[in-house]
Amino acid sequence: MLGAIQIIAFLLFVVFIVKGIIDIFRKKKWRKSFIFSLISFVVFMIAILNDPTLDTETASNETKTKSSQEEKKQEEKAEKKEEAAKEESEKKDSETAKKETEKTSEKATTTATTKTATPKAVQHGVKAKVVRVIDGDTIEVLMDGKQEQIRMLLIDTPETKHPQKPVEKFGPEASQFATETLKNKTVGIQVGKERTDKYGRVLAYVWVGDTTYQEMVLEKGLAATAYLYNDLTMLDEFHKAQDIARNKKIGVWSIPGYAHVDHDHGFHYEEEKKAEPATAPKPKPAPKPEPEPQAEFFQNCTDLRTKYPNGVPSDHPAYQAKMDRDKDNYACEQ
């Protein structure tokens, strides 16, 4: 607060200033007025500088300033702590979210793996159930919700149901072995490089656990390796299994010339003709008309082609149904 001296000195300063300005306009002596005005201003300033109240206010203002600065500092510290707490909280939330995401991802991966593994409950190929055994090398399975006929790759078993062939030796045994080993069982179907043959049958390896059925039937001597036009992936393994039966001379290998390795002309052999007992010569019969040409017999297509390179039609004496594999009424054509 301003004191009395300060007020009086300030009023005198104002009065003399005004008076000096008026004297200038009236062209009177104005210097005295400005001198007294200057003296009044000096007194006013001295009074202010020596006023203890001013010091108190200044100190108070300084204290307030310091207090406000400290408050600001405290507020800044509090804000920094809050920001640090927020950052730490966000970091924790982020790590928690990341862990939850990883857990969710792991669960999803596990679920996906389980779903992927479900169709392949067997170790090799696609899971399938055998619903019918047709013969030793052909079965019907339920696979992927569809019934498929499976022709086993790289083996051939003697015929039991061929429309133009009699039941061949060891054919029933091969069919019986397939029935006992496969019927109503769950197997693995591994489709070959070519999916089907010309009859629409799926060409595949049939897995029973860690072993193919082909190896099992070859080892028993109830089949031979054949049909090399398709997939040779497991031919070496099949040869090893087949050699066991060949060395033991069991099954189809017990009859000389009956089975052949890696051929596709089936099973066949020629029984030795029994010698007829000697009899007295018979009188020559009366001449007869020329008989129809007698059938010519050849062991296989290779043998037939030595005489008929281009094969023979169905009405030819050398024609044999077993050599006409594509059933087009022409045997051993090139």
For 102-155, the three-class secondary structure string (H helix, E strand, C coil) is HHHHHHHHHHHHHHHHCCCCCCCCEEEEEEEEEECCEEEEEECCEEEEEEECCE
Per-residue pLDDT at 277: 52
Residue 88 annotated to the active site: no
Is pLDDT larger for residue 230 or for residue 287?
230
Give 284's pLDDT tier (boundaries 50, 70, 90): low
Residue 151 annotated to the active site: yes
| pLDDT mean across residues, the chain | 80
Q: Does residue 142 have a pLDDT over 90?
A: yes
- C-alpha–C-alpha distance, residues 124 and 122, integer Å: 6
* Active-site position among 168, 173, 201, 215: 201
Q: Pairing mode, if any, of strands 146-152 and 202-208?
A: parallel
- C-alpha–C-alpha distance, residues 237 and 259, integer Å: 19
* Active-site position among 151, 168, 173, 219: 151
Q: Does residue 240 have a pLDDT over 60?
A: yes
Residue 195 annotated to the active site: no
* Active-site position among 159, 173, 215, 219: 159
Q: Does residue 44 have a pLDDT over 80?
A: no
Count CB atoms within 10 A of the CB of residue 296: 14
Per-residue pLDDT at 275: 44
Q: Of 78-92, 120-134, 168-182, 234-248, which gets the smallest average pLDDT?
A: 78-92
Q: Does residue 295 have a pLDDT over 80?
A: no
Which are the contacts of 108, defined by CB distance < 8 A and separation ≥ 6?
A: none
